[in-house]
Structure formats: structure tokens, C-alpha cells
Chain A
Amino acid sequence: SQQGEEDPQALSIQEGENATMNCSYKTSINNLQWYRQNSGRGLVHLILIRSNEREKHSGRLRVTLDTSKKSSSLLITASRAADTASYFCATAPEGGAQKLVFGQGTRLTINP
């Protein structure tokens, strides 16, 4: 698989349920970021977790990072219809490289 692969590719849940998305990557990273993209719109930065952090919270978002497994998860608790969007993980490679490397994304649908 390529750097920044999310699974599942698509997830459909009922409003109020929790949604979990996973991301795997291959190279050493400086940090890992999660972004949301509403259909046809721009990317919105959600949360950043550093390589020396294991867990981070922001409102209803919880991100974990396991550098030994090169994986991360994004949990959205108490989902709302407005959370319907695509979610991407993006890794900032170690060593000062400039670019973010994005995954394919998870398409999340929250059913009312």
C-alpha cells in the first residue's frame, strides 16, 4: 500500500454513533494530520499529532498514533449529519521534507 492509506474507504453510520477511521503509512514522520473535505470543497485542518505523541483530543475528535505500527486512527464521537464528508490523513515526513503526503481518504456518511 502507499503512504497514507485510510480504511475503510467508505463508512456509513447512524447519527449519534461513533465513527472510526484508520490510516497507515510507510516512512518515518514528523507529524500526522487529519483533514476533512466536504464534497467539492477545500480541505479543512482538523487535528495534528506529533510523532512523539500517542493520543490527542479536540472536541469530539480523538486521534491516536502508533509509530511502531505506522498507523493512526481518527474517532468522531456522537456523530452528526454535518460530519458527512471525506476524511484524509496526511503525513509530514521526517527530515524537514516539505510536502504532505495524503491518503486516499474515507468517505463518511452520517444517516439521520
Chain B
Amino acid sequence: EPEVTQTPSHQVTQMGQEVILRCVPISNHLYFYWYRQILGQKVEFLVSFYNNEISEKSEIFDDQFSVERPDGSNFTLKIRSTKLEDSAMYFCASTFLQGSNYGYTFGSGTRLTVV
């Protein structure tokens, strides 16, 4: 069964550093997402991406964050100048058609720890 692949699985970074989280969505999916889950809390929407541009973003997704699809397969989340409160599990997801009643396929996540 096709999978969404995320790398790395764990990332430890110093406060103030930049990190790039990587995702390879399912190849024929058209919509891509990033979500995060702070330990013990809800899964929160960060951003959606379609046709090579951001289609929606949450209040969390401020100028510190950016997304990119640099080639036909990778989808990245960049966090600049990381803060302690950015520590969370970050999930990439993709779906074939938005609002089409398809479920989303989530990756296994990247656990980001900012120290």
C-alpha cells in the first residue's frame, strides 16, 4: 500500500537554528499538508499546499514557517529560528482530491525537539 514517507524520524536542534522536515507524499496525490501535535495535545493544522502554492494556512503558520515542493516528489517544511515551543511531532499528509471524501494518508511523523 502506498505510504507517505517522512524524514528524519527524530530531530534534535538548538534553539535559534533552522530545521527542514522532509516528506514524500503519495505520487498521484494532489493536495499536501503539514500538521503538528504537541505532546499530549490535539493534532493541529498548519498548512495546505496545492498546485505549487499554499492554499490555506493556520494562525500557527507565521513567517517562521515555509513550505516548498522543490521537485516532483518532495514536500518540505522549513522552520526558521526554532523556539522551545516548536517541539512537537510534525506530520505530513496527502490526499488525492480535496473535499472528495477521500481520507488523508499521514506519514509516521518527525519528532522535533528544540533544546
Residue ranges of A at the interface with B (Cβ–Cβ < 8 Å): 4, 30-31, 33, 35, 40-45, 47-48, 50, 88, 90, 92, 96-105
In the complex with contacts A96-B98, A98-B48, A103-B42 CB distance below 8 A: yes
| Contact between A42 and B103, CB atoms less than 8 A apart | no
Residue ranges of B at the interface with A (Cβ–Cβ < 8 Å): 31, 33, 35, 41-45, 48, 50, 55-56, 58, 89, 91, 93, 98-99, 101-109, 111
| Contact between A97 and B56, CB atoms less than 8 A apart | yes
Inter-chain contact count A-B, CB under 8 Å? 62
| Contact between A101 and B45, CB atoms less than 8 A apart | yes
SS class, residues of chain B in contact with chain A = strand
| Contact between A99 and B103, CB atoms less than 8 A apart | no
| Contact between B98 and A98, CB atoms less than 8 A apart | yes
Q: How far is the CA of A48 from the CA of B95 in the complex (A)?
A: 13
In the complex with contacts A33-B104, A45-B104, A104-B42, A99-B48 CB distance below 8 A: yes
Residues of A within 8 A of B56 (CB): 97-99
- Sample of 5 more A-B contacts, CB < 8 Å, known A96-B99, A99-B48: A33-B103, A35-B106, A40-B89, A98-B98, A100-B104
